[in-house]
Amino acid sequence: MKISGNTIFIPGSTSGIGLALALALRAEGNTVIIGGRRAELLEQIAAEHPGIDTVRIDTADAASIDAAAKEVLARHPDLNVLVTMAGIMRIEDWREPESFLASAESVITTNVLGPIRLIAAFIRHLRAQPDATIVTVSSGLAFAPLKITPSYNASKAAIHMLSESIRLQLADTSVQIVELEPPAVRTSLLPGQEDSEFAMPLDEFVAEVVALLQERPDAKEIQVERVKFLRYGEMRGDYDQVVETLNASDPHGKS
């Protein structure tokens, strides 16, 4: 993915990694469209950052995705990058179905069906572009599990394998598949994570991501240094120690 000159749609980017990455990519010379559910928040972002376009979208709703895609493409026919950023994370207890079933269904709908539906809504358009990219967003937890978030871990593992698979199918097209693999980052994804000493500062994460995109425009996976501990545990042969360390150090793990 080239670092500048793109037109980029990032649904799920009204806060956290999505918003910070949107602003950083705009600063690199890209046209950026932010997507989110809350109209008032989108209006605030547009007012604070002139030049950023906004579109209402609920990535858990198939009809909303289709409507937003039509709106984005009507206003930005040169769109060539889709970042499937939207995602939710829930603490679950799988010993009783009442404590996890509804949560798990919600997580899978947003984190797995959401990106699938987004790709379906844009893939024909992206294939028609001379140079296009789909950025999927998995997680370090796709490769080592945090015990309190089973559905989230599974959803991100699914996104990793989906990315690997569609990269093969799209190899003869103009569409590049890039998988972004965040570690724990200081956002509101889980309660308390914004202030967690175990999570990576948001500005540092985004700065490293942008630097990696600049250095390796052909990269298949974007991995900041801090995620490699989780990503390569099995390859290094210390997977069990990685899982133990991850669950011992997480501030939510003892709750």
Which residues are marked as active site?
152
| Cβ 115 vs Cβ 162: under 8 Å | yes
**CA angle (2, 153, 171) in 5-degree steps:** 35
| Cβ 14 vs Cβ 82: under 8 Å | no
Burial class (CB in 10 A: 0-12, 13-18, 19+), 47: exposed
Burial class (CB in 10 A: 0-12, 13-18, 19+), 28: middle
Angle at which helices 150-169 and 114-127 cross, to 10° = 20
Tokens (6 digits) for 91: 């603490």
